[in-house]
Amino acid sequence: MASPHRVVLLVFPGFQLLDATGPAEVFAAVGEHLPPTACTYVLQSVSPGGGLVRSSAGLELLTETLPDPASLAGCTLLVAGGYGVQQAMGQGVLARWLKEAAAHAARCGSVCTGAFLLAQAGVLDGRPVVTHWKYAALLQRLFPSLQVLEDALFVRDGRFYSSAGVTAGMDLCLSLVEEDHGRALSLQVAKGLVMYLRRPGGQRQFSAELLAQQAPAGGVLERLAQWLRGHLHEALDVEAMAARMAVSPRTLHRHCQAELGVTPARLLFQLRLEEACRLLEAGAVSLKRTAEKTGFGSEYNLRRAFVQALGVTPSEYRQRFCR
């Protein structure tokens, strides 16, 4: 009988509890759908000092000390994120250990801001990476050699994986279960955990729509977002948007930066991207028509926008998320 697959969950003081327990629950649930003699997963939580490690929620997780990196051959190594990641990076212990450990693990991944530790270890250089949407810009600024994707829930590059914020770690682990045991079993696990096997959308629900909600009620930007949603198919620029709001382009730019932290052009791009995602999820519109209805103009421009922001092509996105 084959040996169980070993999954090593790395945590540190101040880690996000669900970054570790969410993936653990996904792997543990596999055993519920296989015969008792079947090969499943064995879980191990580790930390620099071992023992009880307090999470940012105040609950503690019992861990073992960091194992010899060479002993991780064939295992899956996942790095949790959390508010304590900055202190963990400052100490440098985990980055040094991860650099060696990643060379031996069969699969190496991160949940949420755990990507910062893998990036510090140098194992993600040149790779596409995702993290929590709030920290994507910081990750790109600190590690410019990375290809930080803005909206994907998770991404794979060879044997390296990363996922977005918190619960996205469970989406990642469902995909790993599918790799190991097939779609049918991963679907059973998803149903048991009351999860989507393929969640409808990425982190995009936290981008333009959230930004629009942050704008003062009845103000220029709220009115702009409402108007843009009905005119995405038109050829628009900052001058046209400013004229519609009866303000100067400079004033519109100032409002956007002060209230939303983005440029007017960026807000328009994100609204167009989200509408394109919605159309592709519905599945009834061709790529050409999707590009026309959302203002991207051509399939080439649509593809470029998706690859840049989501890390997948429009066709791949529709295949994954079409209802």
Which among 180, 199, 218 is the end of a domain?
199
Report the alpha-carbon distance of residue 236 to residue 215 in Å, rounded.
Answer: 21
Which pair of tokens denotes residue 234?
């038109």
> Is there a single domain that holds both residue 162 and residue 258?
no
Mean pLDDT (whole number) for 262-289: 87
> Is there a single domain that holds both residue 225 and residue 281?
yes
Which residue in 112, 173, 256, 277 is the catalytic one? 112
Q: Residue 228's domain spans which residues? A: 204-321
**DSSP-derived 3-state class of residue 187:** helix
Mean pLDDT (whole number) for 234-258: 91
Mean pLDDT (whole number) for 133-151: 91
Task: Judge whether residue 204 has pLDDT over 60.
Answer: no
Task: Judge whether residue 215 has pLDDT over 70.
Answer: no
**Across the chain, what does the average pLDDT equal?**
88
Tokens 């399939």 map to which residue? 299
> Is there a single domain that holds both residue 90 and residue 123?
yes
Report the alpha-carbon distance of residue 49 to residue 54 in Å, rounded.
Answer: 12
> Is there a single domain that holds both residue 278 and residue 139?
no
Residue 18 and residue 36 in contact, taking contact as beta carbons nearer than 8 Å: no
Report DSSP state, residue 298: S
Per-residue pLDDT tens digits for 67-81: 999 999 999 999 999
Share of the chain above pLDDT 90, in %: 61
pLDDT band of residue 104 (cuts 50, 70, 90) is very high
> Is there a single domain that holds both residue 95 and residue 224?
no
> Is there a single domain that holds both residue 176 and residue 256?
no
Q: Is 112 a catalytic residue?
A: yes
How many residues in total does the chain contain? 323
- Tell me the angle at which helices 264-282 and 299-310 cross, rounded to the nearest 10 degrees: 100
Which pair of tokens denotes residue 35?
């015969």
pLDDT at 38: 80
pLDDT at 284: 74
Tell me the Cα Rg of the chain.
22
Which among 148, 171, 199 is the end of a domain?
199
Which among 175, 199, 223 is the end of a domain?
199
Per-residue pLDDT tens digits for 41-92: 999 999 999 999 999 999 999 999 999 999 999 999 999 999 999 999 999 9
> Is there a single domain that holds both residue 91 and residue 220?
no
Question: Can you give the CATH number for the domain in which 286 is found?
Answer: 1.10.10.60
- Residue type present at position 79: V
> Is there a single domain that holds both residue 170 and residue 250?
no
> Is there a single domain that holds both residue 195 and residue 208?
no
Task: Judge whether residue 202 has pLDDT over 60.
Answer: no
In this structure, how many other beta carbons lie within 10 angstroms of the beta carbon of residue 189?
25
Number of domains comprising the chain: 2
Pairing between β-strand 60-65 and β-strand 51-54 as defined by DSSP bridges = antiparallel
Which pair of tokens denotes residue 281?
């999820």
pLDDT at 243: 93
> Is there a single domain that holds both residue 18 and residue 158?
yes
Measured in whole angstroms, how far is the alpha carbon of residue 241 from the centre of its chain?
31
> Is there a single domain that holds both residue 191 and residue 149?
yes
pLDDT at 205: 45
> Is there a single domain that holds both residue 89 and residue 224?
no
Task: Judge whether residue 311 has pLDDT over 90.
Answer: no
